[in-house]
């Protein structure tokens, strides 16, 4: 990738219809995200911060961004190496805590479970996780550790 890539998103606070921000306890945290040419979605704050627990929050989306970036990097590497991946699932976790006097992410741990075709090179499949981590744009953009605890198995 030799040139800049640009992304656009429009975020609108739609909670205003429930009332103005006259009280921290009562204003709605709901927002809508519009991405050009893509499906819009609603989000909210984390329930800890009085958000709607039924909606994704920025913290969820950061963990999802890291998980999906790693998966897409990994699958691309596997495809280029002709390594047949037949299943991939990740149960990623993120931890926020107080650090340097601020609440922030201190770690995200990816737990990808990958199944490759019978007879495929399992050592290569494991090594490509390390390479994918180094190539993940999102992991390269954050200031906290992103660990990868991959498990690779072969199909029966």
In terms of domains, do 111 and 90 share one?
Answer: yes
Q: Say what the pLDDT of residue 2 is.
A: 67
> Can you tell me which residue has the tokens 């009332």?
19
Enter the pTM of the model: 0.91
Chain mean pLDDT for the chain: 94
pLDDT at 23: 87
Structure confidence by residue, pLDDT tens digits, 45-93? 999 999 999 999 999 999 999 999 999 999 999 999 999 999 999 999 9
Q: Report how many domains make up the chain.
A: 2
- CATH number for the domain including 91? 3.30.300.20
Residue 138 lies in a domain: yes
**Same domain flag for 33 and 78:** no
Percentage of the chain exceeding pLDDT 90:
88
Domain region containing 33: 10-49
Rounded average pLDDT over 107-122 = 97
Give Cα separations from 143 to 60, 108, 151 (angstroms). Answer: 17, 11, 25
pLDDT digits 0-9 by tens, 18-45: 889 988 988 999 999 999 999 999 999 9
Do 78 and 139 fall into the same domain? yes
Instruction: Please say if the pLDDT value at position 1 is more than 60.
Output: no
Is residue 97 packed enough to be buried (19+ CB in 10 Å), middle (13-18) or exposed (0-12)? exposed
Q: Looking at the domain assignment, is residue 3 inside a domain? A: no
**What band does 156 get if pLDDT is binned at 50, 70 and 90?**
confident
């Amino acid at each position: 990738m030799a040139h800049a890539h640009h992304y656009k998103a429009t975020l609108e606070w739609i909670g205003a219809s429930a009332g103005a921000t006259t009280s921290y306890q009562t204003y709605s945290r709901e927002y809508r995200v519009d991405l050009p040419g893509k499906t819009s979605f609603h989000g909210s704050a984390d329930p800890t911060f009085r958000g709607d627990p039924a909606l994704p929050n920025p913290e969820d989306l950061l963990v999802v961004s890291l998980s999906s970036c790693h998966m897409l990097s990994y699958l691309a590497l596997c495809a280029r190496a002709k390594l047949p991946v037949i299943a991939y699932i990740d149960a990623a976790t993120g931890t926020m805590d107080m650090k340097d006097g601020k609440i922030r992410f201190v770690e995200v741990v990816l737990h990808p479970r990958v199944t490759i075709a019978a007879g495929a090179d399992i050592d290569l499949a494991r090594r490509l996780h390390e390479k994918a981590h180094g190539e993940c744009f999102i992991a390269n953009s954050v200031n906290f550790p992103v660990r990868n605890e991959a498990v690779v198995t072969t199909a029966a």
